[in-house]
C-alpha cells in the first residue's frame, strides 16, 4: 500500500494536469494508429494524417484561425523562435518592438538577434504590468518589422491591450506577434478580432500533453514570409520540418476543443477560488500584497508578496503545497523576477513572492488546505527572521 503523501498542486502556469479525456484520445495513436502522417502510400499514414488535420482544425477554432494557418511545433518556445527569427530572416527591416515583462523565450531570442544586427525597443509597463498602446505607437518607425507582446503575463496574470496594439500595427502594415501561451483556453483569443498575425501557444498549459505547440500564421494578404528554423523534408508547409508527433497532436486538438467548450466558461468559478485563497491569506498574514492588475488579469493567477519571508524558505517549509517563485522557465536564474522588478517591486520583495496558479481541477478543500499551510509557513519563516534579528 502506498504511503505517498498528497501534494496540493497550485503551479498551473508551469504546466497543467492532462485531462483524462485527452489521454484517452491519444492512446490509440501509440499502439493501433501508429503510422507516419507523411506516409501517403497506405492506410496507416492516411489515418494518422486525418487525425493531424482534425487536430489542426480544433486548434485553429480555439483562436479563431483556419486549419491551414496552424504549424505544429514542439511548444511555445519553438513557436516564438520561429516567429521572431523567421521574420528577422525574411524581412528587409531590422527593428522589432517588445515589452520588458515578456517571457524569456521572447527576450532571450531578441537579445540573440541583436547580436546579429537587429535593433530592438523594449517598452516599459505600468505598476500593474500593462503596456501603454501609445508607447507602442511612438516606438514604431519605418524599419519596424514586428511587434511582439504577450496576451497574458505568465507571472502576474495581467492582460495586454491586444486589440488596440493590433490596430496600430495594422494601420502601419507592421506584423504583430503574441505569445498567447497563458491566455488561450482561459480568455477568448480571436486572432482576426485582435489583429494578431502570428500567435504562439503550447498544449501543456491547457490540460494537453507536453512537447507539442503551434505557431498560427495568418493567411491572406499581405502574405507573411518566414525563414524556416528547422529544415529537412518540407513538413508543415515548409515552415517546420520533422516527423509529426501524432499522439501529442491528437491530444493537443482534444485539449483545444475542450478549452473552447468548457475551459473559458469555467474561469469565473476558478476566479472565485483564487479570490478565496487570496482573502484567506490576507486575513491570516499582514504585509501581504497581490501583484498585477486588479481586474484585467487571468482568473487562475495570484502573484502574492509576503514581506519578510523569502519565497524559497517558504516553499521549503511546505512540501505538501506545490507553488513557484516565478516562471518555471527562469527558475534556474539567481536574479529576482524581471517582471516584478519592472512593475516597481523591490528586489527584496520580489524574492519574497509566490505565484499561485489554479486550474479546473482545483477544489475548495485544496484552497482551504493550501491557505492554511502557506500561512503557517510564512509565519514560521518570519518568526525565524525576527528571532535572528
Say what the pLDDT of residue 329 is: 55
Instruction: Return the DSSP state at 68.
Output: G
The reply to whether 169 belongs to the active site is no
- If DSSP codes are grouped into helix, strand and coil, which group holds residue 240? strand
Residue 213, number of CB atoms within 10 A of its CB: 26
Tell me the Ramachandran region of residue 367: left when phi exceeds 0, alpha when psi lies from -120 to 50, beta otherwise: alpha
Say what the pLDDT of residue 279 is: 98
Q: Picking from 13-17, 175-179, 299-303, 335-339, which range would have the lowest pLDDT averaged per residue?
A: 335-339
Whole-number average pLDDT of the chain: 95
CA neighbor of 252 nearest in space, from 218, 204, 216 = 204
pLDDT of 330 above 60: no
Task: Say if domain 8-16+265-388 classifies as CATH 1.10.260.40.
Answer: no
Separation between Cα atoms, residue 14 and residue 323, nearest integer Å: 9
How close are the terminal C-alpha atoms of the chain, in Å? 46
Strands 70-73 and 119-123: unpaired
Confidence of residue 2 (pLDDT cuts 50, 70, 90): very low
Separation between Cα atoms, residue 128 and residue 156, nearest integer Å: 9
Separation between Cα atoms, residue 146 and residue 312, nearest integer Å: 37
Say what the pLDDT of residue 308 is: 95
- If DSSP codes are grouped into helix, strand and coil, which group holds residue 212? coil
Separation between Cα atoms, residue 175 and residue 357, nearest integer Å: 31
Confidence of residue 334 (pLDDT cuts 50, 70, 90): low
- Phi/psi for 337 (5° steps) reads -50, 125
* Same topology between domain 8-16+265-388 and domain 20-263: no
Burial class (CB in 10 A: 0-12, 13-18, 19+), 225: exposed
Say what the pLDDT of residue 249 is: 98
Residues 6+ apart with CB under 8 A from 198: 83, 87, 175, 176, 177, 178, 215, 216, 217, 218, 224
Say what the pLDDT of residue 1 is: 44
Residues 6+ apart with CB under 8 A from 190: 63, 64
Separation between Cα atoms, residue 146 and residue 226, nearest integer Å: 12
From 18, 33, 38, 329, the catalytic residue = 329
Average pLDDT of 100-125?
Answer: 98
pLDDT of 63 above 90: yes
Question: For the chain, where are the alpha helices, taking DSSP H only?
Answer: 20-26, 28-31, 43-62, 76-90, 104-115, 133-139, 162-172, 191-194, 246-258, 267-284, 311-316, 338-342, 347-350, 364-388
Confidence of residue 335 (pLDDT cuts 50, 70, 90): confident
Say what the pLDDT of residue 233 is: 85
Say what the pLDDT of residue 234 is: 87
Q: pLDDT, tens digit, for every residue of 135-188?
A: 999 999 999 999 999 999 999 999 999 999 999 999 999 999 999 999 999 999
The C-alpha cell at 228 is: 524556416
Average pLDDT of 215-233?
Answer: 93
Helix axes 246-258, 43-62, angle to 10 degrees: 30
pLDDT of 255 above 80: yes
State pTM to two decimals. 0.95
Residue 165, number of CB atoms within 10 A of its CB: 25
Say what the pLDDT of residue 389 is: 47
| Architecture, CATH, for domain 20-263 | 3-Layer(aba) Sandwich (3.40)
pLDDT of 96 above 80: yes
Instruction: Return the DSSP state at 260.
Output: I
- Domain residue ranges of the chain, discontinuous segments joined by +: 8-16+265-388, 20-263
Amino acid at each position: 500500500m502506498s504511503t505517498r503523501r498528497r501534494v496540493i498542486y497550485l503551479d498551473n502556469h508551469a504546466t497543467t494536469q492532462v485531462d483524462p479525456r485527452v489521454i484517452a484520445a491519444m492512446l490509440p495513436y501509440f499502439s493501433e494508429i501508429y503510422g507516419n502522417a507523411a506516409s501517403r502510400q497506405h492506410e496507416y499514414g492516411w489515418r494518422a494524417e486525418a487525425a493531424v488535420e482534425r487536430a489542426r482544425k480544433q486548434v485553429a477554432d480555439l483562436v479563431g484561425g483556419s486549419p491551414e494557418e496552424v504549424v505544429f511545433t514542439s511548444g511555445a518556445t519553438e513557436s516564438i523562435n520561429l516567429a521572431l527569427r523567421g521574420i528577422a530572416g525574411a524581412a528587409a527591416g531590422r527593428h522589432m518592438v517588445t515589452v520588458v515583462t515578456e517571457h524569456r523565450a521572447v527576450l532571450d531570442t531578441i537579445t540573440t538577434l541583436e547580436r546579429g544586427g537587429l535593433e530592438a525597443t523594449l517598452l516599459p509597463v505600468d505598476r500593474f504590468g500593462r503596456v501603454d498602446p501609445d508607447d507602442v505607437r511612438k516606438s514604431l518607425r519605418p524599419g519596424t518589422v514586428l511587434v511582439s507582446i504577450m496576451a497574458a503575463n505568465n507571472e502576474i496574470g495581467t492582460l495586454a491591450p491586444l486589440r488596440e496594439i493590433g490596430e496600430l500595427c495594422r494601420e502601419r502594415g507592421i506584423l504583430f506577434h503574441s505569445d498567447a501561451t497563458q491566455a488561450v483556453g482561459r480568455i477568448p483569443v480571436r486572432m482576426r478580432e485582435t489583429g494578431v498575425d502570428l500567435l504562439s501557444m503550447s498544449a501543456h498549459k491547457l490540460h494537453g500533453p507536453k512537447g507539442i505547440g503551434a505557431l498560427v500564421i495568418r493567411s491572406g494578404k499581405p502574405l507573411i514570409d518566414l525563414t524556416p528554423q528547422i529544415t529537412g523534408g518540407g513538413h508543415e508547409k515548409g515552415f517546420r520540418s520533422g516527423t509529426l508527433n501524432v499522439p501529442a497532436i491528437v491530444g493537443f486538438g482534444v485539449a483545444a476543443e475542450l478549452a473552447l467548450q468548457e475551459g473559458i466558461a469555467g474561469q469565473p468559478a476558478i476566479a472565485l477560488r483564487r479570490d478565496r485563497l487570496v482573502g484567506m491569506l490576507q486575513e491570516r498574514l499582514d504585509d501581504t500584497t497581490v501583484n498585477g492588475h486588479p481586474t484585467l488579469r487571468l482568473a487562475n493567477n495570484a502573484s502574492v508578496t509576503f514581506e519578510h519571508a523569502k519565497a524559497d524558505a517558504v516553499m521549503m517549509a511546505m512540501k505538501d503545497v506545490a507553488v513557484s517563485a516565478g516562471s518555471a522557465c527562469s527558475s534556474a536564474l539567481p536574479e529576482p523576477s524581471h517582471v516584478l522588478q519592472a512593475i516597481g517591486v523591490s528586489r527584496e520583495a520580489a524574492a519574497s513572492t509566490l505565484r499561485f496558479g489554479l486550474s479546473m481541477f482545483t477544489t475548495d478543500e485544496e484552497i482551504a488546505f493550501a491557505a492554511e499551510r502557506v500561512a503557517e509557513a510564512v509565519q514560521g519563516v518570519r518568526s525565524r527572521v525576527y528571532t535572528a534579528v
